[in-house]
Amino acid sequence: MRRCCRTSSSSTTSGSTAPRARRAERAADPSTGELLCTAVEGGKEDAEKAVGAAHAAFANFKKTTARSRARLLRQLNDLLLENQEDIARLIVAENGKPWKEALAEVTYSASFLEWFSGEAERAYGATIPAANPASRIMTIKQPIGVVAALAPWNLPLAMAARKVAAAIAAGCTVVVKPAGETPYATAVFGVLAKRAGVPKGVVNVITALENTALIGETLCTDPRVRKVSFTGSTRVGKLLVKLTADTLKKLSLELGGNAPVIVFDDANVKKAVDGVIVSKLRNGGQTCVAANRLLVQKGILDAFLKELKTRMEGMAVGGGLDHNSAIGPLISQAALKKVDEHTQDALSKGATQYWQHPASPLTPERFAKGNFYPPTIVVGLTENMKVWEEETFGPLAAIKVFEKEEEVEKLANDTRVGLGAYLYTQDIGRALRVAESIHAGMVGINTGMLSASESPFGGVGESGWGKEGSLMGIEDYVVTKAINIDISA
């Protein structure tokens, strides 16, 4: 861990160390509140230098063959997996998630490197039949240029890897700005990219906490940056749209969600609860596709609640490096406060607390200053509650009871965002009817997992635009050029 922290104590720019900023960013362990170590607090000048390095490197990198870029991604994939446990420890320390989830995040991150190593060689152009017999028309795909990749804290490695993998596959160069709360895993990813043979200047990492907004503005307004990929809140996404407007950058925005989970009477109760455990409690509920509003049909409510309570009772809460822990801390005291506000607001407006995790596992002395919130189930969710209107981002399972299928479309779509949604039923006709009616970019039927490297990830409405992963993922990093040839004698 100490070696990792020393490695990441400066921004990696153009394959080397950027000039050190005057101030140091301090990151804390969410499970204890203790200082982990420090990273450079980058500023405007650092961001400009990183863009300059990426812009200079692009002149040559855009000419590399797809096969050579695929090879780089496979080599980086191998290095990530070889160092899986060390990186997982780093993720646990800075993010707080349980050990098994941190290991899974490294594997998940590597899957994008593997996937896009294939997509690099499948970014085909086309030939187009021309109306003029003396013409031949073809298209080619070319890299868009320098990319700014702005990654969040909840999946610090995976979200950076997903963006960088697509950019490298396309032939772009990248400036990566990880969240200030979780700088280390991404910084180590930059180091591993260099070891994998990625040329100087192709992957650049700049860290900051207090200067996050300043660096974001610098990257969004620099005309040398031609694309911005952002994962984060809808509020910040809207700001980025305004900041990039003057230079007409291409944007990929993966923003907030408010995912409904619909459990019909005919659902397999165990399977439905399995899915809710995954979609609601993975990373302590801190994912953009986390189950936020549980809509449970009246006839299955009692069985569902009993099974959900039983499962949640068996989930240990504690520090991520305790391999028995299933639920870790929230990222910050502010996050803790928000979850409690949502819980108390629901109770004050008529919801009832069905169950809350006992406090004793949360109070070992070493965790006294940790950001732990006891997993909670409330019943009686209504449309005037905060948890209905906003992402909770925490281990609060809020349940609304419905009676008829006809109610579900209106309830599920009562939000301006539309990222993920889930439904559980054994009626395939109903499953497809409801899935098609839900205002969301992704729908899980009888599963709590929506994301895979081969599947397009993205939302509709105020959840943003663009797709990450899948064969569509590379399209946001290329431009299509049409070439018209006159073959007349």
| Nearest alpha-carbon partner for 205 in 335, 49, 339, 355 | 49
Distance between CA 236 and CA 248 in Å, rounded?
Answer: 18
Q: Which class is 259-452 in CATH?
A: alpha beta
Do the beta carbons of residue 275 and residue 448 sit within 8 Å? yes
Distance between CA 419 and CA 115 in Å, rounded?
Answer: 22
Q: Which of 105, 254, 462, 468 is catalytic?
A: 254
Q: Which residues on adjacent β-strands are paired with residue 259?
A: 291
Distance between CA 119 and CA 474 in Å, rounded?
Answer: 7
Q: Which class is 2-255+463-482 in CATH?
A: alpha beta
Do the beta carbons of residue 409 and residue 260 sit within 8 Å? no
Question: What is the predicted pLDDT for the residue at 16?
Answer: 40
Question: What is the predicted pLDDT for the residue at 369?
Answer: 79
Mean pLDDT for back-to-back runs of 10 residues, the chain (489 residues): 41 46 70 87 97 99 99 99 98 97 99 99 96 98 99 98 99 98 97 98 97 98 99 98 98 98 99 98 98 99 99 94 93 96 98 88 64 97 98 98 97 98 99 98 98 98 98 97 97
Residue ranges in 96-223 assigned as alpha helix (H):
99-119, 156-170, 184-195, 212-221
Distance between CA 232 and CA 76 in Å, rounded?
Answer: 25
Q: What's the pTM?
A: 0.94
Record the tokens describing residue 400, joined without a space: 């609304």
Question: What is the predicted pLDDT for the residue at 13?
Answer: 52
Question: What is the predicted pLDDT for the residue at 38?
Answer: 84
Q: Provide the b/e sequence for 411-440 (b: ≥16 CB within 10 Å).
A: bbbebebbbbbbbbbeeeebbeebbeebbb
Do the beta carbons of residue 308 and residue 276 sit within 8 Å? yes
Catalytic status, residue 105: no
Give residue limits of the domains in the chain.
Answer: 2-255+463-482, 259-452
Question: What is the predicted pLDDT for the residue at 12?
Answer: 54
Record the tokens describing residue 252, joined without a space: 């990929």
